[in-house]
Amino acid sequence: MKTLCLIALLGLHLSAGAADLANGQRLFNVRCASCHAVGPSASNGFGPQLNGLFGRRAGSGPGYSYSPAMKRAGIVWNDKTLAAFLDDPDDLVPGTKMRFWGMSNQKQVGDLLAWLRSQQPAPQR
């Protein structure tokens, strides 16, 4: 139930266009960058690099050794699935090797996801 409420609130937050990209970048640097990278020089580290994250099937990023749980999760990453994962990774993907206490503040999650989206390469046409 907590996750469903977060997803509903996140949808309202993102649709309002109120994302703070600077705060999203700060949150990434403080909460995510010790394990993940994003951008032109990103590489896998303790966690997978996050380029091309949106629309990608969980556990399928190139060159990273995902947990069996993540490989069979059947999730495609989008704002809703990422918000649920950030809220409680082990709740969404029991057995994931991601060790993260969670981020349930919907404003922070919205800012972080908006910043991550802004860092993704433009789709190829």
User: pLDDT, tens digit, for every residue of 69-111?
Assistant: 999 999 999 999 999 999 999 999 999 999 888 898 999 999 9
- 82 CB contacts (<8 Å, ≥6 apart)? 53, 113, 116
From CA 69, how far away is CA 53, in angstroms rounded?
Answer: 18
What pLDDT, on the 0 to 100 scale, is given for residue 101?
A: 86
Question: Is residue 4 scored above 60 in pLDDT?
Answer: no
From CA 56, how far away is CA 70, in angstroms rounded?
Answer: 12
pLDDT bracket for residue 13 (50, 70, 90):
very low
- Single pTM value for the model: 0.82
Q: Which residue has the higher pLDDT, 42 or 124?
A: 42
- 71 CB contacts (<8 Å, ≥6 apart)? 58, 59, 60
What pLDDT, on the 0 to 100 scale, is given for residue 121?
A: 78
What the chain holds in terms of domains, given with CATH numbers, is 2-118 (1.10.760.10)
What pLDDT, on the 0 to 100 scale, is given for residue 18?
A: 83
What pLDDT, on the 0 to 100 scale, is given for residue 6?
A: 46
What pLDDT, on the 0 to 100 scale, is given for residue 1?
A: 44
Q: What is the mean pLDDT of residues 32-60?
A: 96
From CA 121, how far away is CA 114, in angstroms rounded?
Answer: 14
Interhelix angle 106-118/79-87, rounded to 10 degrees, is 130
